[in-house]
Amino acid sequence: MKTSDVVSCWENFIENNCLEALENQIRLKNFWMNINFNKIMKFEPEFANYILDNFQTSLEIGELIILKKYNLLEFEVRLVNLPKSCEINISELRSENLDKLIVLEGIIKQKSNVRPKLVASKKECSLCRNIIVFEYFGEKLKFFKKCSCGNNGFLREISSKLIDEQLLLLEESLETFKGFAPKQIKLILEKDLTSHLLDMNSPPGSKIKVVGEVRKVPIISRDREKLAHFDTLIKVNSFEILTENFFDVLKPEERELFIKKSKELNFEKKLIESFAPGIYGHENVKKALMLCLVGGSKDKFSRNDLNLLVSGEPGIGKSCLAKFFKKISPKCRIASGESSSGVGLTATVLRDELTGGWTIQAGLLPLCNNGHVVLDEIDKLRPEELQSLQSALASQEIHISKATVSGTLPCKVGVFAICNPKEGYFDKDNSLFEQLNINSTLLDRFDLIFFLKDIPSSNDKKIAETIISREKSTPCFDELFLKKYLLFCTSHKIKWTDELNEFSKKLYQKIRNASYQKSNLRANPRTFESLRRLSTANAKLRLAEFVSKDDVMTAFYLLNSCFNFIDEANSNNIVEEEEVL
């Protein structure tokens, strides 16, 4: 298209499609406007394709038309709802995408402070009073001190133009990245995109959808010479904060099927058998992991996510359970305590490459906000790293204050932690609780603690048969069904009746009194919160409308089994079942 044709298309499009919205924005002194690209496509397909191929030039023409029409000093045109053909993953970016308009989705990993950037200035010569206009591009300023009259001396600054600028580090989301590690790319936001409202609603860990232009940045060597290689960044034109709603993948017919299946006989038993079918036994652990995926009900005063700790001897299947848990969770990452640091799990403060200031970089827990995290070998973390982790598990927030930067990042995650005994195997002569290399304060953050021992038993033959028949056997439900069903249960709302509230209070009193008499690990108010979370999760797993007494008793049995393990004596149950019933 010729330049005159582009100008004509912009004038006609603005006049016929967005004149009223444009004038409203100007009247409100919002010198920017979002334009739906679908409208441009319907208006003139050739014009729309020209914008995609010549993004910078075409947008400058449209902005100049608006500036001239309304006698403005600045105005920004933002494009939204671009076609699917523009969508690309960060790992798929290549040289052919340079200077092209693309659409990216990802997680904000790092976010700098908003800083002013100098883009233009006017200076006056001290001898001839000549006015010189300077324009600045890139990150470094270049001052031309010499005037046309030959003056090499002082140039007095009359005025300057500054804009707001912010740097973001975007990481591939779990649904899109393929490979060993998610790829990252830098984003540059300017002017109205750095507004306070957007900054408050998109902390590190938030998922966003970005429309922008791919640009190359020269890499400078240590000798301050430009290399033949380039780095890439995205000059953002518009972005949208996304709400992670995993329930949209469920079809209406699937929802009806789940409700019908939940009423079948022995359905819950089939679910447990289908969870990690390659591992024989450990029904309580599998049931607890499903409850962790489902979660409790949202509460303003306490977390609804469940935290589980499994300590077991080698070769018992802990890693296989963790891998299956990650497959079934819609949003989950695995970290190893041996190769992780406290700041890698929570957050750290780094120097911003663009502005030179300090910025907060989110760790694993904030990046998995509203999801799950598997922490393998949690006992390998250093004491100071465990300290930072325990506050995150309790409040589901990470507070950081370093290098003049302070902030709070949300980390509403359910944690599945795995560890080994101190000596590799449990010593029957010592308390199981004392054989963990984890302090009691952190242990108190877990709703359930399981101890798995590798002891010869009559089940050894069945374990061997399960290993042999892994490839041939077919579980009752496949992984996709299990994943979607548990996802559907997560969105299910549950109510507590007054009668059940009273029953749970009496049950907690008996648990607490018995724990002080019989158990090494005493029950506390967090135990009561765990009881309610587990009861709610079990009711959601059944797709029930109300929590029943059976749900509360199931939660109690799970808690009681963990206490029995710690007490290592079947006779010292925390609450005698006959007493409760």
Cβ-count burial of 467 within 10 angstroms (0-12 exposed, 13-18 middle, 19+ buried)? exposed
List, for residues 171-203, the tens digit of each pLDDT value: 888 777 666 678 888 898 888 888 765 666 677
**In this structure, what is the dihedral angle of CA atoms 34, 35, 37, 39, given to the nearest 10 degrees?**
150
Q: Any idea which residue has 């393998």 for tokens?
A: 376
**In this structure, what is the dihedral angle of CA atoms 450, 453, 459, 460, given to the nearest 10 degrees?**
140
| Cα–Cα distance, 345 to 388 (Å, whole number) | 9
Highest mean pLDDT among 30-39, 117-126, 403-412: 30-39
Q: What average pLDDT does range 318-338 have in this prediction? A: 86
Mean pLDDT of the chain: 81
pLDDT of residue 540: 92
- On the CB side of 81, CA atoms within 13 Å amount to 9
Q: What average pLDDT does range 254-259 have in this prediction? A: 88
Q: What average pLDDT does range 326-349 have in this prediction? A: 80
List, for residues 461-503, the tens digit of each pLDDT value: 777 877 777 767 778 888 888 999 998 888 888 889 999 999 9
Give me the numbers of helices (H) and strands (E) for the chain, helices first please.
Answer: 20, 18
Highest mean pLDDT among 132-146, 234-248, 338-352: 234-248
Q: What average pLDDT does range 42-68 have in this prediction? A: 89
Query: What are the distances in angstroms from CA 165 to CA 113, 118, 185, 194?
Result: 9, 10, 17, 7
pLDDT of residue 570: 40
List, for residues 307-327, the tens digit of each pLDDT value: 999 888 888 888 888 899 998
DSSP H helices, 218-265, are 252-262
pLDDT of residue 296: 84
| Cα–Cα distance, 520 to 432 (Å, whole number) | 10
Reference 62, options 43, 89, 88; nearest CA is: 43
pLDDT above 80 for 268: yes
Q: What average pLDDT does range 47-56 have in this prediction? A: 88
Decide the pairing of beta strands 131-135 and 115-125. Answer: antiparallel
- Higher pLDDT: 289 or 301? It is 289
pLDDT above 60 for 138: no
Q: What average pLDDT does range 415-432 have in this prediction? A: 82
- Higher pLDDT: 568 or 551? It is 551
Res. 568 pLDDT band, cuts 50 70 90: very low
Phi then psi dihedrals of residue 23, to 5 deg? -65, -35
Question: How much of the chain, in percent, has pLDDT values that exceed 90?
Answer: 7
pLDDT above 60 for 581: no
Are the CB atoms for 22 and 14 separated by under 8 Å? yes
pLDDT of residue 144: 53
Are the CB atoms for 413 and 396 separated by under 8 Å? yes
